[in-house]
Structure 1
Amino acid sequence: MHAIRLHAFGPASNLTYEKTEDPVPGPGQVRIAVAAAGVHLLDTALREGLTGPYPAPAALPTVPGREVAGTVDALGEGTDPDWLGKPVVAHLGMAPGGYAELAVVDAAKLHEIPPNLDPAEAVAMIGTGRTAMGIVQFADLGPDSVAIVPAAAGGIGTLLVQYAKNAGATVVGLAGGPAKTARVRANGADLALDYLLPNWPELVGEFLTSAGHDHATTVFDPVGGPTARAAVDLLGPGGRHLVFGWSSEGIRDGGPLTFTQEYLTERGITSESVLGPTMLSRAGGPDPLRTLETRALTEAAAGRLRPAVQRYPLAEAAEAHRALENRGTTGKVVLIP
C-alpha cells in the first residue's frame, strides 16, 4: 500500500508519500480499505514531536492520522464476518495509522456509514462531529439564546452554527476574510463577520440591538486570544464562555483564554473548559466517546448537521498540514487515497 510516513519530527515537508507493507488485522480487528482519512490541527503538533491530548509518537517512522472511513476488506481471527465488505468509519484512538490506503482497527470501534453520507463526511463526523456533540451538551440553547461562534468556517464551527440555528438561537459567526464569512453566511448564521475588521465587536453590538437582544448568551471558544476576549466582552449576566481550543494562540505555545474568578463574578458569567473528563462524564454510557460518535452520525444521517469538508489527495498530506497551520482551510480537512 501507499501511506504517509514521518521519519523525523519537524516541518510538514517531513511527511513523505511512500510504498510500505500492507497491515494485517489481528484478533478482533478489521482492515479498512481507506476512502477518506481525517486530518486534525493536533496532527501538526504531533508531527513536530509535541504532546497534547495524545502523546507524541514513541517510535519513528510512523503513519499519522486517527480517523478513517472506507470498506472492510479483511478480518482478523474471531471478528464477526458480517463486517466484511461493509462501509465503515472509525476513530482509531491512541493508535495512529490513518494516512494510508489501508488501516487496521478494533471491530468494536466501527460504525456503519449512514447511506446519505460519503466517506469524507463520515470521517468529519466521527472526530469533529463527536467533539461538537460534546461541546453542545454545555450550551443549553433555545429561541432566546444568542451564540457567538469564532472560527465559524472551521470544521467544528460549521457544526456549531447549524446546531445553534436548529435550536432556534440567534447566531453570530466570525471568520477570517470575505470568502470564509460568505461560507458562514451560507451555513445559516444570522450575522457573519470578518474578525480581522477592527470594529467587528461594535458591529455585533449594533446587530444585537437591532435584533432586540441586550447581549450574547454563549461564546463557543476554539481560538483564544483577542478574538475570544472581545466576544466574551459581549456576554451579559448568566452568559457562558465554553472553551474547547486555542488556535489563535497556537497549539504549540499558547493556551486557552482564562479569567480571574473576580472578573467572572463581577460580570456574572461562567467560563469553562468543556474538553476531557467533563465532556465525557456528561455524555454517559459505558463508552462516552462512542456515545458522542453515535450522536454525531445520527444527526448527520437525519440531515440536521452537515459537515463542511476540504479534500486533499493523500499524497499531498504535507500541503494539507501547511494549509491548516496557515489557516488556509475551510471545514474538516480530509485526505483521499
Structure 2
Amino acid sequence: MKAVQANQFGDPTVLTVVDLPDPTPGPGQVTIDVTHAAVGLIDVFFRQGLYKDRPGMPQPPFAPGLEVAGTVRELGEGVTGFTVGEKVVTMSVTGTGGYASVYVSPAALVVSTAGYDIDPALAVSVVPNAAMAHVALTRVAHLSEGESVLVHGALGGFAAAFPGIARQLGASRVVGTVRTSKLAAASATKLPYDQIVDSSELPDALSGEKFDVVIDPVGGAVRTHSLDLMAPGGRLLVAGNASGDWGHQLDSNQLWLGSITVSGFSAGAYLPTHPQVVRPALEAALKAVAAGLGETEIDVLPFSEAVTAHERMESRNLGGRIVLTPDSRS
C-alpha cells in the first residue's frame, strides 16, 4: 500500500510517500480501501513532535491521519454487519494511520454511509468531527434544548462540526468567532451559524450577549474572553489550543462567581474509555450531514501533495478542510 509517513519530527518536508505491506485485519477489525483521508491540525502537531514526550504519542516513522473514508476491503474474525465494498467512514483512536491506501480499524469505530447520499470527501471532512462534537455536547457540555452556543475558531475542522450538531440537539442560537483574516470566508460559509464575529473584538463584538455553552479549541486570550461571554451556570468546553499559548491560565474566581463549569474534551482520551458512545455518535453525525448541517469548503489533494497540505494547515488561513487521496481522484 501507499502511505504518507513522517520519517522524523519537523517541518512539512518530513512527509514522504512510501510503499508498505498491505495490512490484514485481526479479530474484531476491518480493513478499508481508503479513498479520502482528512488533514487536521492534530496531524500537524503530531508531525511537529509537539506531544513527543507524552506517553502513547506517535513516534517516527508514522502515518498521520485521524479521519478516513473508503470501502470495506476485508473483515476480521467475528466482524458482522458489513460487506466487502461497502462505503464507510471511521476515525482513529490513536489519531494516526489515516494517510494510507489501506487502513485497519476496530469495527466498533466504523459506520456505513450506504443509504446516505453523502460525497465521501464531505463524509470524511465532517462525520468523524461531528461525531466527536455530538459526544462533547451531550456527554461533557450537557447541552439542553433551547440553550445558546458560542463556537470559537468557527471554521476550523473540529469547530465547524459543532453548529450542525448543536442545531440537531435543539440549540436556540449558534454564534461563531473567527480571526480577522477569516471574516471573508465566514461571510460565505454554509455552516448553520446565526452570526460570526471577529474574535479580536471580543467581548464587545457580541454587545453583552451571554451563552450557555462555549466551545473553545483556540485558547489564549479567546479563552479568557469566554468567561465574560457566559451566562450563569454556563459550561466552557476546552477542546484544543490552536493559539499555541500553552502557558495560559484562567482566573478561578470568575468560575465560582459566575457558577461556570470548565471541562476538557479530547477524543483520544475520552473515546477509548467510553467506546459505547462512538457508534450512536457516528450515526447522529451521519444524519446531521445528510440533512445539510455540515456543508463546508473542501480541497482534495493527492498523497503526493501532503507537504503542501500541511503547509496550508500551518498558515491557519483555511476556510474549510483539506482531504488527501491515494491518487488524483476528486
The answer for the alignment partner of 2:93 in structure 1 is 93
1:172 and 2:175 correspond: yes
Count, aligned residues: 319
Residue 298 of structure 1 aligns to a residue in which SS? helix
The match for 1:36 is 36
Whole-Å separation in 1 of the counterparts to 2:122 and 2:76: 27
Distance 1:107 1:32 in 2: 10
Q: Is the 8 A contact 1:34 1:101 kept in 2?
A: yes
| Contact 1:43 1:64 survives alignment (8 Å) | yes
Is it true that 1:324 corresponds to 2:313 in the alignment?
yes
Identical amino acids, percent of aligned pairs: 33
Extract unaligned runs of 5+ from structure 2: none
TM superposition shift of 1:272: 2.2
Question: Match for 2:57: what amino acid?
Answer: A
Contact 2:3-2:20 within 8 A present in 1 as well: yes
Contact (CA 8 Å) 2:127, 2:289: kept in 1 or not?
no
My pick for the range that moved more, 241-250 or 48-57, is 48-57
Q: Match for residue 259 of structure 1?
A: 251
State which structure, 1 or 2, has the greater radius of gyration over its C-alpha atoms.
1
State the secondary structure of the residue aligned to 2:35: strand
State the AA in 2 paired with 1:314.
Answer: F
Instruction: Report if aligned partners of 1:155, 1:308 keep a CA contact under 8 Å in 2.
Output: no
Shift of 1:168: 4.5
Instruction: Give unmatched runs, 5+ long, in structure 1.
Output: 209-214
Hey, what does 2:304 align to over in structure 1? Answer: 315
- Partners of 1:78 and 1:188 lie apart in 2 by 40
Distance in 1 of aligned mates of 2:61 and 2:44: 16
For 1:37, the aligned partner's letter is A
Which aligned pairs between 1:1-337 and structure 2 lie closer than 5 A?
Answer: 1-51=1-51, 55-58=56-59, 60-76=60-76, 83-94=83-94, 96-114=96-114, 115-137=116-138, 138-143=141-146, 145-166=147-168, 167-176=170-179, 177=181, 178-184=183-189, 186-196=190-200, 199-205=201-207, 208=209, 215-249=210-244, 254=246, 258-260=250-252, 262-275=253-266, 287-306=276-295, 309-337=298-326
- CA offsets, 1:174-209, max 9 Å, x none? 11222232145x42322221224xx34323116x4x
Closer, same or farther: CA 96–140 of 1 in aligned 2, 3 Å? closer
Shift of 1:305: 4.3
**8 Å CA contact 2:224, 2:250 repeated in 1:** no
The code of the aligned residue for 2:229 comes to L
Asked if the contact 1:152–1:175 (Cα under 8 Å) also holds between the matched residues in 2, the reply is yes
8 Å Cα contact 1:310-1:329 kept in structure 2: no
